[in-house]
Amino acid sequence: NYQYTSANEAIGRVLSITEDKNLGVWIGGDKGLFYFNNGSIRKIELRSKTILAAEALHTDAAGNVWVGDVNALYKLTAKQIDTINKNNLSVINLFPFADFNKRVFGLTTDNKQNLYIAGYDGVYKINADAKRYETVWNNTNPPLFVRSVAATSPDSIFWNSLYSHPVQMINGKISTRFSEDFIGRTVFTSNNKIYSLNTSGVGMIKDGLVQPIVSFSDITNNAVAALIDAEENIWVGSWEGLQKFRRTSFKQYQLGHKTQKEIFSFLERKNGDLLFGSNRGLVFKKNNETIAEDKSIPGLFPLAEVMCMVEDNDGSFWAGSGYQGISRYKNKLLTNWSDTGFLKDNNCEALYATGDGKLFACTENGVTLIDPKLIEPLSAHYPFAKKYSRRPELFGCFQTGNSGYWFYGSQGLYKLKNDQLADDSIMNMPVKSLYIHKIIADKKGNIWIATQGKGLLLCRYENENIILQKQYDSRNGLPSDIALSVLADKNNNIWLGDYMSFSVLLNPGIDEQLISFNEKDGLLSSYYQTLKLEQQKNGTIWGLTSMGLISFHPDSIGLNNLAPVLILKNISVSGISTNFSVASSPIFSYKHNSVQFHFTAVSLTDPTKIRYAYRLKELDSNWTFTNNRVVDFNFLQPGNYIFELKACNNNNVWTIQPLQFNFTIRSPWWQTWWFRIFALLTAITIFYFFYRRRIKDIRNKAAIKQQLAELEAKAIRSQMNPHFIFNSLNAIQECIVTEKIDAAYDYLSRFSKLLRLVLDNSDKNFIPLTSELETIRLYLSLESLRFSQSFTYSIEVNDKLDKEDIYVPSLLLQPLVENAIWHGLSNKEDEKKLKIYFSESNGKLTCVIEDNGIGRAKAEEIKKQKIGAAKFESKGTKLVYQRIALLNHQNPGSAKVETIDLFDSRGNASGTRVIITLPFHFLQNM
């Protein structure tokens, strides 16, 4: 449930939504425009001052997103959307399109990519690639604004005004048929058809009329939105929530009677009348779309159920009861046989017409032969050959070809032999005394047997025997192991049912498909105690139940042919749940050889009927069927495996390609002796290598520490040139002798402060840049005094540098500055300049010390002319390079010193530039 953006801004009331070509979702509402992608929502701000309230959104075929506002229409081009998506932009330029300064309630495009706009004043159109709009229809009553618009082509435009019936413009001609009970809410398209959401339901607009598809007047109130999904379910959003309506071909009937609801028998008479037998001997008749009591037929029995009905050749019909014998209604005369030698139990649950015009009456005491031509039609009786303590119920008779007659019931199968009912059985079926509800034969000669507890049996007749070929039960797709009735429809598909559902076996054989239906598909919602399936001559099938009637035609059964979307959610390996489903062929340790797959499938029509089939091909090539969404494989042997998974929807439509997941269980490496030896040698080698490496590292660190200590001590002693110290003291003395007391005080103050800074920083490896700058400034001021202001200097620092937060090696720069003064500037005759500046370049701190002195070559010549110059060595400069080398040892390539000779335009030496480079990552927060 998304209520806020990633920046915690409220989304507010959502009024519109669309998806762009990048699979990003645009959301419009009273808080503005939002964009959803990669699991988060961000608000799209406008550079202009326009306050956006997006009431309508639409994506056209070119990938442009149109935004309808309370004030204008905007267009986001596909190129803009790509930029927003790639650069994660939240602020964009959005300008009104075609100077359309009206409120927009709805947007749509036709098959020519013309855009249509629903507004206060009517319906407007913007032709593809046009920059102006035109009026399609002018609304003369703006308060009843146009709230929605839909179009299939430029010649077929539909719209809906507030509190009005949908309007259509076909080839420029406008028409509408208003209905108080069917006021329109909105019009929309699905599969190039126009639909209307109204106050009482959803309908399809055809020829100017709304043909109702779904009615929800008694279910919900104030429906505001509708959608037809890919599986053709209809979703309706209202103030009371979300409802889903599924297509059904099953029609329910209730008996037009105060007390009777049960239906036990069915008869289609020769004149086309449909009769239904109920309790208390009542017979009902179908009149148009109602089932009402047939007053022309008297009660066939005083109290009992009408269990079966048959019409004979002369037009009279016979009926059997539950416990009051047999009745015949002929020439408006009712006759009942309730206590004869042939029908001692007064029971008859089935009447079977033979080819010679006679009837078999199936009773608890055997079979009675009825010859309607005789004055006494009950002409013979065939008892059970076996004596029963509890009499069996007989539910029917079956014959195929010249096989003779079988009878079946609550205690098995019987064959009529020698005027007796002899026990018989189904070959290959272990259970001999099956509870059999119904036996039929289809057009191909297959025999289908509906049983209690063993499901549906497919059999064949061979050598005077019924032989089992295949069993259908809950293990291979049926809702249960109970089949109360079975029927072969006009297409030779096999229908059966249990206490709460119907099932159909389409195309029995190699390509067969088993589909089940329940109350969510339109069947009766109550648990019914009895079920019989009967078929009209026109192919309509009737379900007779204890709770009412159901009818349907096989050709009208709408199937969901869209396979489920299959998702492998995650995999648990040895109890550890990890999202291995995104990995490619993971390899698991031999220790982790128990794998659990978690999966699901999406099918909107009826998720409860989704079934799965899986297999691990290396273990079993057969598919295992299940309703569970978790599969375990425990203690797998090492090897390569392929887990395959598929799913089917409510109509048994399976995913075309199984989902596959490859994984490997690694073999245990420790089971071989050679690997143990190899592992031992490897361990010894690794230990020896790390031991030597550790000793070497310890020695290197000790050497570095010792060298650092020595360098730090040398740095303290060599930071200041003894000549500088002596000369400074002489300068102070001279000031005192010549009575320049103030100058002496100033000189002495600076000198002491410089010495204090040197002593304070000499024991620190790194100091802030501010401290180093202060040392350099004091040093330069004293040298300037010593040389009687004979040279000028400047120190510049880039404003972007944080001098307090940048650390540099202590007293690193003073020797280089000293070299510039003594060797570069001291021997120069004219103007002398020294420049020091700090800057940032490519993430590094750069310090440049530049003088306009005589250059290194001239300085070297002067140095050689001095007595003892051969023995003289610049200690300070050497220490600088040693410290730089130590820094690079800790972080290779992190620091460097570069000296550059400068020349004028004539090629004469014009000074020296020294560049010191130190990295920021090394200098910050030391």
Instruction: Please report, rounded to a whole number, the percentage of residues in the chain having pLDDT higher than 70.
Output: 93
Mean pLDDT of the chain: 87
For the residues 394-407, what does the mean pLDDT come to?
91
pLDDT band at 581 (very low <50, low <70, confident <90, very high): low
pLDDT band at 819 (very low <50, low <70, confident <90, very high): confident
| 244 touches 233 (CB < 8 A) | yes
- Tell me the H-state helices in 418-515: none
Listed range (343-347, 598-602, 870-874, 911-915) with the worst mean pLDDT: 870-874
How far, in whole angstroms, is CA 458 from its chain's centroid? 41
- Please indicate whether residue 645 or residue 342 has the higher confidence score (pLDDT): 645
**Bridge-partner residues for 452, per DSSP?**
482
User: Over 90: is that where the pLDDT of 886 sits?
Assistant: no
Which pLDDT value is given to residue 74? 92
Listed range (93-102, 685-694, 858-867) with the worst mean pLDDT: 858-867
Each residue's pLDDT tens digit, 239-275:
878 888 888 889 999 888 888 889 999 999 999 999 9
Burial call 393-410: b when 16+ CB within 10 Å, e when fewer: bbbbbbbbeeeebbbbbb
For the residues 789-816, what does the mean pLDDT come to?
84
Which pLDDT value is given to residue 672? 62
Long-range contacts, 232-238 (Cβ 8 Å, 24+): 232/558, 232/560, 233/604, 233/605, 234/202, 236/197, 236/202
Secondary structure element (H or E) that encloses residue 754, with its range: helix 741-761
Q: Which residues, in sequence order, are CB contacts of 230 under 8 Å at separation 6+? A: 562, 604
Each residue's pLDDT tens digit, 208-224:
788 888 888 777 778 88
- Please indicate whether residue 875 or residue 627 has the higher confidence score (pLDDT): 627
Q: Which residues, in sequence order, are CB contacts of 487 under 8 Å at separation 6+? A: 440, 494, 495, 496, 533, 534, 535, 541
Which pLDDT value is given to residue 569? 85
User: Over 70: is that where the pLDDT of 921 sits?
Assistant: no
Q: What is the C-alpha to C-alpha distance for residues 321 and 226, in angstroms, rounded to an integer? A: 51
Which pLDDT value is given to residue 863? 80
User: Over 90: is that where the pLDDT of 88 sits?
Assistant: no
Number of H helices and E strands in the chain, helices first, is 9, 67
Which pLDDT value is given to residue 877? 77
User: Over 80: is that where the pLDDT of 787 sits?
Assistant: no
pLDDT band at 810 (very low <50, low <70, confident <90, very high): confident
* Mode of pairing for the β-strands spanning 659-665 and 587-588: parallel
For the residues 850-859, what does the mean pLDDT come to?
88
pLDDT band at 919 (very low <50, low <70, confident <90, very high): confident
How far, in whole angstroms, is CA 197 from its chain's centroid? 28
Q: What is the CA radius of gyration of the chain?
A: 50
| 105 touches 121 (CB < 8 A) | no
For the residues 435-441, what does the mean pLDDT come to?
96
For the residues 219-238, what does the mean pLDDT come to?
86
User: Over 80: is that where the pLDDT of 337 sits?
Assistant: yes
pLDDT band at 713 (very low <50, low <70, confident <90, very high): very low
pLDDT band at 923 (very low <50, low <70, confident <90, very high): low
| 236 touches 226 (CB < 8 A) | yes
Instruction: Please report, rounded to a whole number, the percentage of residues in the chain having pLDDT higher than 90.
Output: 45
Listed range (311-325, 381-395, 570-584, 793-807) with the worst mean pLDDT: 570-584
| 920 touches 926 (CB < 8 A) | no
Sheet with 241-245: strands ordered across: 223-228, 234-238, 241-245
CA separation, residue 63 to residues 16, 39, 66, 78, 805 (Å) = 17, 21, 10, 5, 51
Q: What is the C-alpha to C-alpha distance for residues 454 and 429, in angstroms, rounded to an integer? A: 10
Which pLDDT value is given to residue 717? 44
User: Over 60: is that where the pLDDT of 720 sits?
Assistant: no
Which pLDDT value is given to residue 64? 94
Which pLDDT value is given to residue 165? 86
For the residues 593-608, what does the mean pLDDT come to?
90
* Mode of pairing for the β-strands spanning 565-573 and 576-578: antiparallel
Would you call 279 exposed, middle or buried from its count of C-beta atoms within 10 A (0-12, 13-18, 19+)? buried
Which pLDDT value is given to residue 582? 54
Which pLDDT value is given to residue 631? 94
3-state secondary structure of 450: strand
For the residues 809-822, what does the mean pLDDT come to?
82
User: Over 80: is that where the pLDDT of 827 sits?
Assistant: yes
- The three state secondary structure string of 273-303 is CEEEECHHHCEEEEECCEEEECCCCCCCCCC
pLDDT band at 712 (very low <50, low <70, confident <90, very high): low
Total residues found in the chain within this entry: 926
User: Over 60: is that where the pLDDT of 700 sits?
Assistant: yes
Which pLDDT value is given to residue 716? 47
Which pLDDT value is given to residue 757? 79
User: Over 80: is that where the pLDDT of 35 sits?
Assistant: yes
CA separation, residue 94 to residues 162, 638, 728 (Å) = 29, 61, 73
For the residues 855-870, what does the mean pLDDT come to?
77
Each residue's pLDDT tens digit, 156-193:
999 999 888 889 999 999 988 766 666 778 999 998 89
Which pLDDT value is given to residue 714? 55
Listed range (47-51, 107-111, 504-508, 539-543) with the worst mean pLDDT: 47-51
Which pLDDT value is given to residue 256? 84
Each residue's pLDDT tens digit, 480-527:
999 999 999 999 999 999 999 999 999 998 888 889 999 888 898 878
Burial call 533-559: b when 16+ CB within 10 Å, e when fewer: bbbeeeebbbbbbbbbbbbbebeebeb
Each residue's pLDDT tens digit, 736-753:
877 778 778 888 888 888
Q: Which residue has the tokens 């009777």?
A: 260
pLDDT band at 465 (very low <50, low <70, confident <90, very high): very high
Which pLDDT value is given to residue 721? 53
